[in-house]
A and B are shown apart, each in its own frame.
Chain A
Amino acid sequence: MSAKTLLPALARHQSPALLALCLLAIVALASLTGSDTVQVTVAEMMIRVIVVVGLYVFIGNSGIISFGHIGFMCVGAYAAAWATAQPTFKQIMLSGLPVFLQEAEYPFLVAVAGSFALPALVALILGAAIMRLSGTACSIATFAFLVIVNSVYSNWDSVTAGVSSIIGIPTVVGPWIGFAFALLAIAVAHLFQISRFGLMLRASRDDEVAARASAVDVLKVRLAAFVLSAALVGMGGGLYAQFLGILTVDPFYLNLSFITLAMLVVGGMFSLTGAVCGVVAVTAIVEVLRFLERGGLGVALPQGSQELGLGVLMALILVFRPKGLTGGRELRIPRRWPQLGFRRKRLEQRPQEG
């Protein structure tokens, strides 16, 4: 590839590349500290990056808020647990599982693939039904889905162990594996948003009437984003199960739904950079507040100041940056990173592909 074609290509993909470098720096620094607590925090942060980037694929591009994606995370987490938990446990506690799952213990990547595929399938069926709804109605329908998933998974004892936990899932996910899959999620989200489908979906977000008049099949592009987004969030769930080692239904409900949505909104919901920044910023705030709560500066803050502080800081961020940390400029420029002057010039001069 000559420099002439390489530079525009670099410029075109610079934002996911830069995001990857930032995350790499975080993971590398965490490894250098050698502290287990930091490792755990960073691993969990990487999983959240996957989940929030997955959320962004649908919410950011379609402009429709979904309250139900943590349901897909739950579906993905259980899919991974079914694949990797010990057969002896599965035969006793999960007797409703099909035999091929009961009797075998599948490798990590198979489990991840399952946690990607099963939520995608569920999203395809659900999405075919609800994507024709308009904005708010669609959001509430996704919330209904979250409630349904929660009820089913809490009560289907023979398959999910109900309210007790699935134990013995190999805990193979650490910061580096989390990072690798976060990269994958970012790359997928980026490729989707610059693709034909992504562009058509964002056009329908800006103006549905004009998009349909330009022959954009809004239902189809929305459904595609919904399925892809559910798959990424589900993958995040699958990794989460293999990070925790023990799985219950409880974490996949309102708390996690709202914190992940808050991360997206704080970062800026209409940009991929926003999705990633939101996770990093909110995680950092939470960790600092936890540190202070434990008495890190000599005086311990009272219990609960972490939640309170997070709420106040998020409110402040949104008061001063209503479009999120990445701001309005990012919102308008599809290349999601502030560009250096010379790069932008090159971009504008380059002969365009159709």
Chain B
Amino acid sequence: MKPLLEIDQIHVRYGDMTALRGVSITVAESEVVCVIGPNGAGKSTTLAAVAGGVKPFRGEVRLNGTAITGRAPERIAALGVSLVPEGRHIFGSLTVDENLAIGGYMRNDKAGVAADRARLLDLLPRLAERLHYPAGRLSGGEQQMLAIARAVMTRPRLLLVDEPSLGLAPKIVDQIYEILLDLRRRDGLTLLINEQSSNRILNHADRIHVLRAGVIQLEGRAEDLRDGDAIRHAYFGFGHQAPAAPAALEAAP
């Protein structure tokens, strides 16, 4: 199948620091691909490079074969790439309903927007109960759900989710994954998800990339990586035998 998204050997630099050194990831239509890696590995930068938040100085990002590298975030969003940024970026002073409305503004099909809104509220009764609350007053989990719902309201072809589990209770994280996978089952939504830990994602993703220090260390089908040893090795840079602690710390940033 032709890939929907091709990240082709991108390099990203922040000042003197190189965050990504030749990262390549492809995501096919309706696939769930996950990037895992420790803090500072470059996961968020990878998603930002796709969504237009940062511009790679080398390499290319292609959507359906068209290069979108370095376009403005709002243009890329209009092409159907929706980013749920890390840390629940909702519009705190707007109501839940208005947050959802903003998601639907780029679309022209009023009926479709209304239908999606109804369906999402059906799926997320907690948001439905709080439609006219300022979004800033929601709990962390509700805000994360709202951020995802708002992104889904844009009817994306590709949904980028940056660490959906960050700072949330495991039970809430399970709910969020249920919702994401439910959307994928129903709409054939394509997902590229960042996570720090692999345990949950191994059951949900089709393919996994392990990113460390700006380089893809390992990629493979989730089912082939279940035993976890290869992932551990790629993630920490070592296998069974524990090395001296300082080395592990150096490998992490």
Using CB atoms and an 8 Å cutoff, list the residues of chain A in contact with chain B. 196, 199-200, 202-203, 205-207, 209-218, 270, 331-334, 344, 347-348, 352, 354
Q: Which of B25-33, B77-85, B167-175, B195-203 contacts A (4 or more CB under 8 A)?
A: B77-85
B77 and A202: CB pair below 8 A? no
Interface size class of B (residues with CB under 8 A): 35 or more
B72 and A212: CB pair below 8 A? yes
- Report the minimal beta-carbon distance from A315 to chain B, rounded to whole angstroms: 26
A215 and B74: CB pair below 8 A? yes
Q: Which of B6-14, B105-113, B221-229, B237-245 contacts A (4 or more CB under 8 A)?
A: B105-113
Least CB separation from B72: chain A residue? A212
Chain A contacts for B89, CB-based, 8 A: 207, 209-210, 213
B104 sits at the interface (CB 8 A): yes
- Report the minimal beta-carbon distance from B130 to chain A, rounded to whole angstroms: 9
B236 sits at the interface (CB 8 A): no
A354 and B104: CB pair below 8 A? yes
B85 and A213: CB pair below 8 A? yes
- Report the minimal beta-carbon distance from B167 to chain A, rounded to whole angstroms: 17
B93 and A206: CB pair below 8 A? yes
Q: Which has the most chain B C-beta neighbours within 10 Å: A203, A206, A354?
A: A354
A211 and B102: CB pair below 8 A? yes
Q: Which of A213, A331, A344 contacts B73 (CB 8 A)?
A: A213
B55 sits at the interface (CB 8 A): no
Using CB atoms and an 8 Å cutoff, list the residues of chain B in contact with chain A. 51-53, 72-74, 77-78, 82-85, 89-95, 97-99, 101-106, 110, 113-114, 117, 131-132, 134, 136-137, 147, 150-151, 154
- Report the minimal beta-carbon distance from A192 to chain B, rounded to whole angstroms: 15
In angstroms, Cα B154 to Cα A196, docked, is 15
B97 and A202: CB pair below 8 A? no
B73 and A203: CB pair below 8 A? no
- Report the minimal beta-carbon distance from A150 to chain B, rounded to whole angstroms: 35
- Report the minimal beta-carbon distance from A37 to chain B, rounded to whole angstroms: 41
Least CB separation from B51: chain A residue? A213
- Report the minimal beta-carbon distance from B236 to chain A, rounded to whole angstroms: 31
Chain A contacts for B114, CB-based, 8 A: 354
Chain A contacts for B151, CB-based, 8 A: 213-214
B150 and A214: CB pair below 8 A? yes
In angstroms, Cα B99 to Cα A218, docked, is 16
B91 and A354: CB pair below 8 A? no
In angstroms, Cα B18 to Cα A199, docked, is 37
A202 and B74: CB pair below 8 A? no
- Report the minimal beta-carbon distance from A95 to chain B, rounded to whole angstroms: 48
Least CB separation from A332: chain B residue? B134
Chain B contacts for A199, CB-based, 8 A: 94, 98, 101-102, 105
A334 and B95: CB pair below 8 A? yes
In angstroms, Cα B187 to Cα A93, docked, is 71
In angstroms, Cα B96 to Cα A205, docked, is 16
In angstroms, Cα B92 to Cα A200, docked, is 13
Lowest 8 CB-CB distances: which A-B pairs, in order?
A: A210-B89, A215-B77, A212-B73, A215-B106, A332-B134, A206-B91, A354-B114, A213-B83
- Report the minimal beta-carbon distance from B104 to chain A, rounded to whole angstroms: 6
With A207-B92, A334-B95, A354-B114 already in contact, 9 other A-B pairs whose C-beta atoms are closer than 8 Å: A205-B93, A207-B90, A210-B147, A212-B72, A212-B73, A214-B103, A214-B105, A215-B105, A216-B102
A215 and B91: CB pair below 8 A? no
In angstroms, Cα B83 to Cα A207, docked, is 13
A-B contact pairs, 27 of them (CB 8 A): A196-B105, A199-B105, A200-B102, A200-B105, A202-B94, A203-B98, A203-B99, A205-B93, A206-B93, A207-B89, A209-B89, A210-B90, A211-B91, A212-B52, A212-B73, A213-B51, A213-B73, A213-B151, A214-B105, A214-B151, A215-B78, A215-B105, A216-B105, A218-B74, A332-B134, A352-B117, A354-B101
Least CB separation from A194: chain B residue? B98
In angstroms, Cα B53 to Cα A209, docked, is 8
In angstroms, Cα B145 to Cα A162, docked, is 60
Chain B contacts for A331, CB-based, 8 A: 93
In angstroms, Cα B137 to Cα A352, docked, is 21
B106 and A214: CB pair below 8 A? yes
Q: Which of B91, B105, B137 contacts A210 (CB 8 A)?
A: B91
In angstroms, Cα B83 to Cα A211, docked, is 10
In angstroms, Cα B90 to Cα A214, docked, is 11
Least CB separation from A203: chain B residue? B91
Chain B contacts for A216, CB-based, 8 A: 74, 102, 105
Contact A202:B93 (CB < 8 A) given known A214-B151, A214-B154, A215-B77: yes
Chain A contacts for B72, CB-based, 8 A: 212
Q: Which of B77, B95, B110, B136 contacts A213 (CB 8 A)?
A: B77
In angstroms, Cα B92 to Cα A203, docked, is 8
In angstroms, Cα B156 to Cα A215, docked, is 11
In angstroms, Cα B135 to Cα A199, docked, is 14
In angstroms, Cα B88 to Cα A207, docked, is 10
A348 and B77: CB pair below 8 A? no
Chain A contacts for B117, CB-based, 8 A: 352, 354
In angstroms, Cα B105 to Cα A211, docked, is 11
Q: Which of B73, B85, B93, B113 contacts A270 (CB 8 A)?
A: B93
Q: Which of A209, A217, A332, A352 contacts B93 (CB 8 A)?
A: A332
In angstroms, Cα B68 to Cα A96, docked, is 52
